[in-house]
Structure 1
Amino acid sequence: MSQKFSIAPSRHRRSTPAEKRAAASSAALDLRVTERRKGVVVSFKKVYQIEPLELVDLIKKGVPAHTVVELARRMSITKERLFATLGLPRATVDRKVRENKALSPDESSRVLGVARLVGHAQTLVDESGEPQDFNAAQWVANWLAQPMPALAGHCPAELMDTAEGQAIVANLLERAQSGAYA
């Protein structure tokens, strides 16, 4: 049995803009608790498509720490590798996972940056018309580990620990899709 957490407006009144943003932010992460184990199912495309102000709200609230573990699982990498890529302190994140706490805004921003990158890749593939059997999360994990001529031979993963670095990587992905960098 799954229980979905979301902020749902009352049926007896209209939703305020703030309630709509909160509901959209909650839906973007699609948090679920199962009887077998706690887990986070991330809809990467929803995270990628979230409105900027909603994203800021989500970052300020902090994403659940176990989002990092689920993201690593979906990317088929170890959580330690993801911690290193994002510059996240392992002990702190592990403690927050155990205590079922949210990440700090800075940590949330980095984690959502990767989720948005996966959503970006999925959107590009969907728009190309050939999304069958494409695992965007695994593809991004592999792509981040590849040295890129556009980055002077560095791997995109080396830039994922800052917002500016993530913007550079997202731009590189966009240019690669357009054929600017193959």
Structure 2
Amino acid sequence: MALEDDINTLTVIVGKMVNEAGDPSGFDVRSWLDHWLMEEVPALGNRRPLDVLLEPNAVEMLSSLLLRAQSGAFS
């Protein structure tokens, strides 16, 4: 159950990001997150976020990663 709770937490975070970015109509937050969780992410050493979720403090690390991407920290 903890994994689903972590995914739900990340869904809320991404939802807030989308709302802050502008018009969220037509954007499926959960679908986007499900896709992102399965993709290899260079900032995670080419690991999948889903695999990272099995580690301690994963939600905090992934939240930070998403928020840095939103702010343009990786530009």
Q: TM-score, normalised by structure 1?
A: 0.38
What whole-Å deviation, never above 9, does each CA across 1:116-152 have from its counterpart, x for those lacking one?
Answer: 1001101100111120101100000011111111111
AA at the equivalent of 1:142: H
Q: What is the CA deviation profile of residues 21-43 of structure 1, one whole-angstrom value per residue up to 9, with x for unaligned ones?
A: xxxxxxxxxxxxxxxxxxxxxxx
Match of 2:35 among 122, 132, 142: 142
* Conserved? CA contact 1:113–1:163, under 8 Å: no
Q: Tell me, in whole angstroms, the C-alpha distance in 1 between the residues paired with 2:30 and 2:56.
A: 19
- Whether the 8 Å CA contact 1:121–1:136 is kept in 2: the answer is yes
Quick one: which of 160, 163, 167 aligns to 2:60?
167
Paired with 1:176 and 1:130, the residues of 2 have a C-alpha distance of: 18
Which runs of 5 or more residues in structure 1 are unaligned? 1-106
CA RMSD, Structure 1 to Structure 2 (Å): 1.6
Question: What does residue 125 of structure 1 align with?
Answer: 18
Q: Higher helix proportion, which one?
A: 2
Alignment of 1:18-167 (within 5 A): 107-108=1-2, 110-167=3-60
Structure 1 residues 181 and 155: CA distance shift in structure 2, 3 A: farther
CA distance in 2 between counterparts of 1:115 and 1:152 reads 24
Q: Say which structure, 1 or 2, has more relative contact order (CA 8 Å, 6+ apart).
A: 2
| One-letter code aligned to 1:118 | T
The equivalent of 2:73 in structure 1 is 180
* Structure 1 segments (4+ residues) deviating >6 Å: none
Kept after mapping to 2: 8 A contact 1:147/1:154: yes
- Identity rate, percent: 28
Rg: which structure is higher? Answer: 1
**Partner SS for 2:57:** helix
Residue-pair matches, total: 75
